[in-house]
Structure 1
Amino acid sequence: MIEEFRKTSAERDIPLIHQHMMRTFSLRREEIITSSLPVSELKDRWPALFNETQLYCEFHRITNLHLPHVFYAALDEYAPRLIGLYKKKKTGRVGENMDQLLLEYEQQDKNDICTTRTAALAGLPIYLKEDSSGIFKTCKDEMEFHEAALALVADVGEEDVPAGVPFSPRQVFVVLEDQVVMTHYRWTDALVCLFGLIYALHLSYPVKCSSFFEFIQVVLLKLDDERKQLRPKLQTLKNELV
């Protein structure tokens, strides 16, 4: 399979790659969970996990969910209500940060579903009072070095971006352990890939932004890991969305 990923995309034998990934799933999961290998080594050993199609297949093998389909269906359901809640946050630093985001949102094309999706996700860390600055970053040039254990780095040129989440990035880099492992042209799609990689590589959620990722896991994807209850601020938000 490693040889297949040395070929161009057009030359790869996709059915063969998929068959190999299915056959080696148990071995791969055991290795990833028990060995704690660096991401660079995992990328060398299992390059298909960093291919978007195979990443989603791996997520399905782990959870029995089609990640982008379930994620976007739930997000599109909750996004209008989330933005409605954001508009009520009018006090203190949280209110100021939310106002900046909503002002930028109001200047976007509302007919573009990605606009609403981006606003709903960008506002979540603000609403949950989490510091996402180390996770959602921007850069002015794609050649900048991206130093982060786990991050989305959006190439925005000279644009000023509220909350580190752009509505129209030039491209978005998925960064793990200081290296770009995937690239996308939409911020929300890059986030879906990042979440898939967290599951596929058995990574922990960033401590400072853990509620954001738990919201995706428990509320959007309904993957609760048999937990007894959510932390209070997430439970409150979930109740407000009913």
Structure 2
Amino acid sequence: MIEEFRKTSAERDIPLIHQHMMRTFSLRREEIITSSLPVSELKDRWPALFNETHLYCEFHRITNLHLPHVFYAALDEYAPRLIGLYKKKKTGRVGENMDQLLLEYEQQDKNDICTTRTAALAGLPIYLKEDSSGIFKTCKDEMEFHEAALALVADVGEEDVPAGVPFSPRQVFVVLEDQVVMTHYRWTDALVCLFGLIYALHLSYPVKCSSFFEFIQVVLLKLDDERKQLRPKLQTLKNELV
């Protein structure tokens, strides 16, 4: 597999890589879970995990879910209701931040489904009163990256980013342990890849934004233990959406 990933994308034997990934799944999961290897070493040993197609296959092997399909189906169902809840937030710092987000959202092209998806996801940390500034970042130069154990860094060019939400980034970098491991052209797609990597590499959710990622796990993907008690704010939001 390592030899295949030294080739160009067009030259790689995709069926062979998939076959080897299937055969080595148990070995790989044991190594990742028990060894706590640095991301740089995992990238050298298992490069397919940092390829979008093979990452989704790995997520399916772990959870039996097709990540982007289930994620977007649920998000598209809940997004209008989430934005409706955001509009009711009128007081305090949360209300001010939400107003900025919604004002910018209203100026976007509503025919682009990514606009609503981005607004719904970007508003979640605000609604849940979490600080996402260390996770969701922007830069004005593709060579400018912020140190982060786990982050999405949107390259926004020279333009300002109203409300801090990158509705139209030039590209988005997935950063793990201070290095770019994947790139995408849509913020929501990059977020899906980041979530997939968290599962594939057995990473913990960022403490300051844990409810945001738990919302994706429990509400969007329904990857929860029904016997486990959700934290109150997540349970309240889940009830409001249902």
Per the TM superposition, whether the score is higher than 0.5 is yes
Alignment check: 8 A CA contact 1:133 1:164 kept: no
Tell me, in whole angstroms, the C-alpha distance in 2 between the residues paired with 1:130 and 1:161.
20
CA distance in 1, matches of 2:194, 2:145: 18
> In structure 2, how many angstroms separate the alpha carbons of the residues matched to 1:93 and 1:161?
19
TM-score (norm 2): 0.98
Identical pairs, percent? 100
- Structure 1 stretch 140-149 or stretch 19-28: which is displaced more? 140-149
Q: Distance in 2 between matches of 1:150 and 1:101?
A: 23
Question: Aligned partners of 1:25, 1:233: CA distance in 2, in Å?
Answer: 36
Aligned to 1:69: 69
CA contact (8 A) 2:101 2:165 kept: no
- For the Cα contact (< 8 Å) 2:145–2:153, is it kept in 1? no
- Runs of 4+ deviating beyond 4 Å: none
Shift of 1:213: 0.1
Superposed CA offset, 1:136-163 (max 9, x none): 0000000113310000000002232245
Q: Distance in 2 between matches of 1:170 and 1:187?
A: 10
Q: Secondary structure at the match of 1:153?
A: strand
Residues 146, 179 of structure 1: 8 Å contact kept: no
The DSSP-based 3-state class of the residue aligned with 2:190 is: helix
User: In the TM superposition, what is the alpha-carbon distance from 1:42 to its structure 2 partner?
Assistant: 0.2
Which secondary structure state, in structure 2, belongs to the residue aligned with residue 168 of structure 1?
A: coil
Which whole-Å deviations, capped at 9, do the CAs of 1:79-111 have from their partners, x for residues lacking one?
000000000001000000000000100000011
Matches within 5 A, 1:172-211: 172-211=172-211
**8 Å CA contact 1:153, 1:173 repeated in 2:** yes
1:37 match: secondary structure: coil
Q: CA deviation at 1:226?
A: 4.9
Structure-2 separation of matches of 1:102 and 1:211: 21
Which structure 1 segments of 5+ residues have no match? none
C-alpha displacement at 1:54, in angstroms? Answer: 0.1
Task: Say which SS state the counterpart of residue 65 (structure 2) adopts.
Answer: coil
Question: What number of residue pairs does the alignment pair up?
Answer: 242
**1:164-200 C-alpha deviation (Å, 9 max, x unpaired):** 3310000000000000000000000000000000000
Distance verdict in 2 for CA 1:219–1:163, change over 3 Å? farther
Pairing 1:229–2:194 present: no
Superimposed CA distance per residue, residues 42-70 of structure 1 (whole angstroms, 9 cap, x where no aligned partner): 00000000000000000000000000000
Asked whether the equivalents of residues 154 and 165 of structure 1 are also in contact (C-alpha less than 8 Å), the reply is no
Q: Residue 104 of structure 2 contacts residue 163 of structure 2 at CA under 8 Å; is this kept in 1? A: no
Partner of 1:2, secondary structure, is coil
Give the whole-Å Cα distance in 2 for the aligned partners of 1:18 and 1:194.
21
Q: CA 1:227/1:212 → structure 2, altered by over 3 Å: closer, same or farther?
A: farther
Q: SS at the partner of 1:137? A: strand
Describe the superposition over 1:91-136 as per-residue Cα deviations: whole angstroms up to 9, x where unpaired.
Answer: 0000000000001000000111000000000000000000000000
Secondary structure of 2:53's match? helix
Root mean square deviation, CA, Å: 0.9
Distance 1:206 1:143, change over 3 A: same
Q: Does the aligned pair in 1 maintain the 2:68–2:192 contact within 8 Å?
A: yes
Matches within 5 A, 1:60-209: 60-162=60-162, 164-209=164-209
Q: Distance in 2 between matches of 1:200 and 1:176?
A: 13
Q: Counterparts of 2:128 and 2:221 in 1: how far apart (Å)?
A: 18
CA contact (8 A) 1:146 1:180 kept: no
- Contact map agreement 2:172 2:183 (CA 8 A) in 1: yes
